[in-house]
Amino acid sequence: MVRVAVITGPGRVEIREEPQPVPEPDELLVAVDACGLCTLERRLFSGEKRLYPVAAGHEVAGRVVAVGDAVRDLAGAPRIGELVTADFLTRCGSCSACRRGRTAMCKRPQGGALSDGTITMGGGLTDMVKVRARQTWACGDAPVEHAAMGEPLACVAHSIRLSGVRAGDRVAIIGVGYMGRLHLAATRALGAASVGAVDISDVRRQDARRANASWVATPDEALQRAGDQDVVFVTAGVPGSLELAVSLCDAGGTVVLYGAFPRDHRATVDPDALHHHEITVVGVYSHEPEDWRVAAGWIRSGALAGDLDALVTARFQLDAVADALTLVAGSPVYRVLVGG
């Protein structure tokens, strides 16, 4: 049997037992060493999103303990003993989005379930998971804490790819919580000429400064840099952030909408300014397999190691998952990891 954490209501989580998963021929069995707690887990535990009971957790890293027949000794496929980061997103391959290669937008995501019918949204807060070999990415000698950041890093790789950002670009990031900080780390590593950080929180601005942001500013202060940026990433989808991002752009600039906005929010932008100054606004969401390859490359190479270390807020054993979720729901954190 293996343990799996199930969120059963606001502020309630329990450890259940499940039969040990058996990998299919194209799957690997991964012993989970760490699973990051993301926005979804915070919202489920705090009661902002009510969908119970649910086995959450989708930012998983661990060691391969068994390999299906079809992928054993296959070049490129992870082998027994290797540390991997795992992509839990299902992609149907048949819908119009998948056919265009835009698998992050798959119209038919397939959910899973535990043996008692409890729905899984990841189900990574557990001892062991089975994952398709093609959705696991070897992380070499990287620390497991870094490997557990594979999913958010794949989202950032996706964001960066769709942004078209290049070495030499002047970059601004609106919102430097965890996802903003990963954007900061990645765009610096990519050779951005400057990367500025905009946030309403003093603490987050100070942390970003310590993480080598070229400049930090409140949203009001940032307006002094209007027209100075090539690419602006919005990781804080709050009213006013799209307008601020557009005003920060130089002609030919790009605004990337990474963070979710309130559903009923409407923004005011000047379409003629977008036209005359060739401003591009791009929505980005989730990740695709090629983004995982980049994310795993960042992890494995150590290119972002110092940044990733600084973003581990705390680590808990699986038995202490309630403490981990309580911390995440009650205070601003970067990443809290659970497992082992």
Query: What whole-number distance in Å separates Cα of residue 158 and Cα of residue 152?
Result: 10
Residues belonging to the chain: 340
CA distances from 319 to 5, 16, 60, 146 (A): 9, 11, 16, 21
> In angstroms, what is the minimal distance from the CB of 329 to Zn ion?
16
Q: CB of 199 within 8 A of CB of 205?
A: yes
Q: Does 105 bind Zn ion (CB under 5 A)?
A: no
Residue matched to tokens 């603490």: 203
> In sequence order, which ranges of the chain are alpha helices (DSSP H)?
39-46, 96-99, 144-147, 150-163, 178-189, 202-210, 219-222, 241-248, 271-276, 289-301, 305-310, 321-330
Q: What angle do CA 211, 321, 6 make, to 5 degrees?
A: 125
Q: Is 148 in the site for Zn ion (CB under 5 A)?
A: no
Q: Does residue number 153 form part of the binding site for Zn ion (CB under 5 A)?
A: no
Contact between 106 and Zn ion (CB under 5 A)? Answer: yes
Stated as kind and residue range, the H or E segment containing 154 is helix 150-163
Q: Using the rule CB under 5 A, which residue among 38, 55, 83, 125 binds Zn ion?
A: 38
> Smallest gap, in angstroms, from Cβ of residue 209 to Zn ion?
26
Considering the rule CB under 5 A, would residue 92 count as an interface residue with Zn ion? yes
Calpha distance 174→197 (Å, rounded): 6
296 near Zn ion (CB under 5 A): no
Our CB check for Zn ion shows the closer of 151 and 199 to be 151
Mask of contacts with Zn ion, 223-262, x by CB under 5 A?
A: ----------------------------------------
Q: How far is the CB of 109 from Zn ion (least distance, A)?
A: 8
**Residue 196 or 259 with smaller CB distance to Zn ion:** 259
Binding-site member from 95, 238, 310, 322 for Zn ion (CB under 5 A) = 95
Closest approach, Cβ 206 to Zn ion, in A, equals: 25
Contact range with Zn ion by CB under 5 A, out of 16-24, 70-78, 102-110, 117-125: 102-110
Q: What is the DSSP string of 52-99?
A: -SEEE--EEEEEEEEE-GGGTT-TTS--TT-EEEE------SSSHHHH
Return the number of other C-beta atoms located less than 10 Å from residue 150's C-beta.
28
Stretch that binds Zn ion, among 87-95, 177-185, 212-220, 228-236 (CB under 5 A): 87-95
Q: Which is nearer to Zn ion, 38 or 84 (CB)?
A: 38
As measured in angstroms, the least distance from the Cβ of 91 to Zn ion is: 6
Element (H, E) at 32: strand 27-36
Which of 32-40, 128-136, 163-171, 191-199 is the region at the interface with Zn ion (rule: CB under 5 A)? 32-40
Query: By rule CB under 5 A, what count of residues binds Zn ion?
Result: 6
Interface segment toward Zn ion; rule CB under 5 A; list 122-130, 145-153, 287-295, 321-329: 145-153
CB of 278 to Zn ion, least distance (A): 32
140: alpha, beta or left? (left if phi > 0; alpha if psi -120 to 50): left
Shortest distance, position 148 Cβ to Zn ion, whole Å: 10
* Contact between residue 88 and residue 135 where contact means Cβ atoms under 8 Å apart: yes
Q: Which is nearer to Zn ion, 112 or 227 (CB)?
A: 112
Contact 247, 272 (CB under 8 A): no
Q: Which is nearer to Zn ion, 101 or 164 (CB)?
A: 101
Rounded Cα–Cα distance for residues 127 and 3 (Å): 6
In what helix (H) or strand (E) does residue 253 lie, and over which residues does it extend? strand 249-257
Q: Give the C-alpha separation, 47 to 43, whole Å.
A: 6
- Identity of the residue, 23 or 123, whose beta carbon is nearer to Zn ion in the bound complex: 123
- Which tokens go with 293? 């390859």
Closer CB to Zn ion, 31 or 92, in the complex: 92
Nearest distance from C-beta of residue 34 to Zn ion, angstroms: 13
Question: Does the footprint of Zn ion cover residue 98 (CB under 5 A)?
Answer: yes
Which residues contribute to the site for Zn ion (CB under 5 A)?
Answer: 38, 92, 95, 98, 106, 151
